[in-house]
Each structure stands twice: as structure tokens, then as C-alpha cells.
Amino acid sequence: MLNFDLTEDHRLLEQTVREWAGREVAPRIHDLDRAHQLDRGILPQMASLGLLGISVPAKYGGTGMDYVALGIASEELEYVDTSLRVIMSVHAGLNCLTLLAWGTEDQKQRYLVPQAQGQKIASYGLTEPAAGSDARGIQTVAVRKGDRYVITGEKMWISMADVADHFLVFGWTDLEKKRQRDVSGMSAFIIERGFKGFSSGTLKEKWGILAGNTGCFKMDEVEVPRENLVGNEGEGFKIAMFALDQGRYTVAAGATGLIRACRDASVKYARERKAFGVEIGSHQLVKEMIAQMESDYQASRLLWERAGWLKNIGRRNTRETGLAKWFATVASERAAGDAVQIHGANGYSDEYPVGRFYRNCKGAVIYEGTREIHKLMQADYLLGYRVDRPTRCELPAWERQ
Ligand SMILES: Cc1cc2nc3c(=O)[nH]c(=O)nc-3n(C[C@H](O)[C@H](O)[C@H](O)COP(=O)(O)OP(=O)(O)OC[C@H]3O[C@@H](n4cnc5c(N)ncnc54)[C@H](O)[C@@H]3O)c2cc1C
């Protein structure tokens, strides 16, 4: 039997995150955004709420909640600001859940536990200056030397690049396969900020998610112990894609929160603002935009919930997660554009939050698979050009205990 009710735990989580973000972040977000500043003080607060290890089992320092809980938290965080949800996407989604599935016990103890407890912040480095959608085009190489790998390369557009302590990084261990663009020559590594040869920077010219950190990092012959190889040599691409199945899920749920924020701000403004002697909400074309936001919100919510449910039962969900991410992010762009429209000239200033929503939403239509890449993916499934084989799937948190 289908059941759309949240459990008591989910409801409590929703309320807790909503209250915390509304109380601690919402009143300051305008200033943080204007200052182009990530407030690092937010991280320990998120840790104390258990958000940084939300779907990690208690034995690895997490809260042991399920994937629906991760979706709820992502939606509530992005309702206030995208920068908050991005922390969840890279730290919890792309990194922690990937280490949980692919890491060795030693890696889990050394990296996942402090991450889940929020003592260390983690990020994910796949994109490079010359390779985004085309991940096979990355140039980073990892050369095996005895019991270490020597990694050289540059990663670009990395969320939390200048903040994170640990990075899940991808590079080629087989140079012949690199030449042939055969992804079975790619491997994944854990790199610590303190490793010699590692340096990072912040991108200054970004125009959205300004209260978050986006940057780049360089690895100049960084020596990485063999124990930091994640999975086996040659499994890096598979691991990178597995990570995206987790990250995209948080992006989908987050974009859903942004649509809701646009809807709520628009409803409020439409009741306050008058034009032609009546509230603008009584003009049919304004109603149409608000109605569209509601349908986009509800549809996006159902799509991420279905993906979360599939994750909870440990079933492959690349297709469903991709659809949820694609639909919600495109819909969030529409909702943010219409929210600005409903606010008229006031929407075109930072006096109201909708301008920030408009600047923030676009990133998600680009990262973790662009709109076009997701469209291709969905068409390829239908056309039979793409079939997912079973992989290490996402087992429910309680089964991982
Ligand atoms: C705010 C932000 C945060 C990010 N955080 C991270 C992070 O933490 N870690 C990380 O690794 N990366 C991160 N990224 C990078 C992001 O994942 C890439 O930007 C994304 O994958 C797209 O790559 P690209 O920018 O190189 O665009 P390109 O791949 O160069 O694409 C340019 C355009 O061409 C289109 N295109 C490309 N190939 C095709 C095709 N085959 N068919 C049709 N159209 C195509 C694209 O859809 C796009 O419209 C972040 C990006 C942003 C903006």
C-alpha cells in the first residue's frame, strides 16, 4: 500500500531543520550573501543537529536516518538558502555516502567517522578546467610509486574547495586507458588538505550561491598513501557516478525547497501588492504563475520521494534520481523567474529574497549533470541505449548498522 505520510521521526526532523534554519540563518542570509561569505560557524551547528552524518549509521558516527530524511533536510535547508543545501550535497551526499558504500573499514574509521560527526568537512573533486560533463576528459593523473600514488592535477568549480578538510578525488591510474578514454583506467582517492603539494582557492567572480564557497584546488605531486585508494584501481569512474546518484538526490530535494520558497514569497507578495485597485493575486496571469509553482513543487516532491524510497530499499535508482534532479532544477528556474516577475521591480533588487533565489537556482541546472546531460540520459534509457547494471546499491541505514 502506498503511504505518503511522513513518519514521526521525519516530521520531527523537518520541524527541527525548519526552525533552526529559520532562526539562525534566515535573518542573516541577506548579509552573508552580499558579503560573499560562507559562515563557518554554521558548520558546527549543522553537526550538532546531526545533519552532517544524517544517513550514516551510528556505528560510523552518524544519525542513522534513512534517505527520505536526507531529502527532507535538503529541502528545508534550500528553502532558506542554496548554500546550506550545497554543504549537504558535497559533504553528506557526494562524499560520506560514497565512503560508506566504497570505503574500507580503515577509511571509514579515519575519514567517515570524523566527517559524520562534523569534526571534518568533506568535498568531491571531479570537474577540471577543461572537463565537466565530459568526465573522461579529466587530466589528473595518479602514478603508483611503491606504497603511494603521486597525484598531479587541477580541479575546478569545487564546492567547499577552500573549506573542506577531505576530498574525494578522481584521476587516471592507467595512462594508456586515459589516451583511449577508457574509464576503467580511472581511480578514486581520499586527499587531505594537509598533504604536501595540495593548495586551494576560492572563485571570486561567481554570481550565485554567494553565501557558499566554490573554488578550485591543485595537486602538485601530492603523495597519497595506497590505503587512500577508494575501491580498486580502475573503479574510480564507477565510484564517481555512484557519488552523483547520492548528490543529485540532495540537489533534487533542495531545488524542491527552492520552488516552495518562491511559491511562499510570491503568495505573500501577491496578497500585499495592489495594482489596478486590487491585490495582484487576483489577476489571472499572476494566479497562473502561482499555480504553476504549486504543481512544480508537488511533482518535484513526489519525484525525490520516490528516489528516496528506492534508495531506502536498496534498489538501483540512477534513472529515477536523475529524473528527479532534472525536473526539479528546471522547475526551480521557472519558479524563481516567475517569483521575480510577480515582485515586479522589487524582485529585481535584493530587498526581497526572490532575486537571490533566481541567482541561486541556476547552478543546479548546471552541476551534477547539466539539464542537457539529464535529458540525454532519460532519452537513452527509453531508447535502450543505456541500461544500468547492478552496482553497489544504497542499503537502508538501519541495515548497514
Ligand atoms: C556552483 C557550482 C558548484 C559546483 N560544484 C562542484 C563540485 O563540488 N565538484 C565537482 O566535481 N564539480 C562541481 N561543479 C562543476 C559542475 O559539475 C560542472 O560545471 C558541470 O558538470 C558542467 O560542466 P562544464 O561546466 O564544464 O560544462 P560543459 O561540460 O563544458 O558543458 C557546456 C554546455 O554544453 C552542454 N553539453 C556538453 N556536453 C553535451 C552533450 N553531450 N550533449 C548536449 N549538450 C552538451 C552542457 O549541457 C552545457 O550546456 C560545480 C559547478 C557549479 C556551477
DSSP letters, 278-347, are EEGGGSHHHHHHHHHHHHHHHHHHHHHHHHHHHHHTT---HHHHHHHHHHHHHHHHHHHHHHHHHTHHHH
The string of DSSP letters for 65-106 reads --HHHHHHHHHHHHHH-HHHHHHIIIIIIIIIHHHHHH--HH
- Ligand 1 lined by 156 (C-beta under 6 Å): no
Going by the DSSP 8-state scheme, the letter that residue 58 receives in this structure is: G
Burial of 296 (0-12, 13-18, 19+ CB in 10 A): buried
What kind and span of H or E run contains 274?
strand 274-275
Pocket of ligand 1, candidates 133, 242, 326, 377: which has the most ligand atoms within 8 Å of its Cβ, to mutate? 133
Contact 257, 79 (CB under 8 A): yes
Mean pLDDT by 10 residues, the chain (401 residues): 90 98 98 95 98 96 96 98 98 97 97 98 98 98 98 98 98 98 98 98 96 98 98 97 97 99 98 98 98 98 97 94 98 98 97 98 98 98 90 58 42
pLDDT at residue number 274: 98
C-alpha cell at 96: 560520506
The closest alpha carbon to 54, from 341, 239, 253, belongs to 253
Quick count: other Cβ atoms within 10 Å of Cβ 97?
A: 28
Angle between helices 236-272 and 318-342 (to 10 degrees): 30
How does strand 186-192 pair with strand 166-172?
A: antiparallel
pLDDT at residue number 400: 47
397 has which bridge partners?
Answer: none
Pocket of ligand 1, candidates 78, 181, 367: which has the most ligand atoms within 8 Å of its Cβ, to mutate? 367
- Ligand 1 lined by 353 (C-beta under 6 Å): no
- Ligand 1 lined by 373 (C-beta under 6 Å): yes
pLDDT at residue number 399: 55
pLDDT at residue number 396: 53
- Ligand 1 lined by 247 (C-beta under 6 Å): no
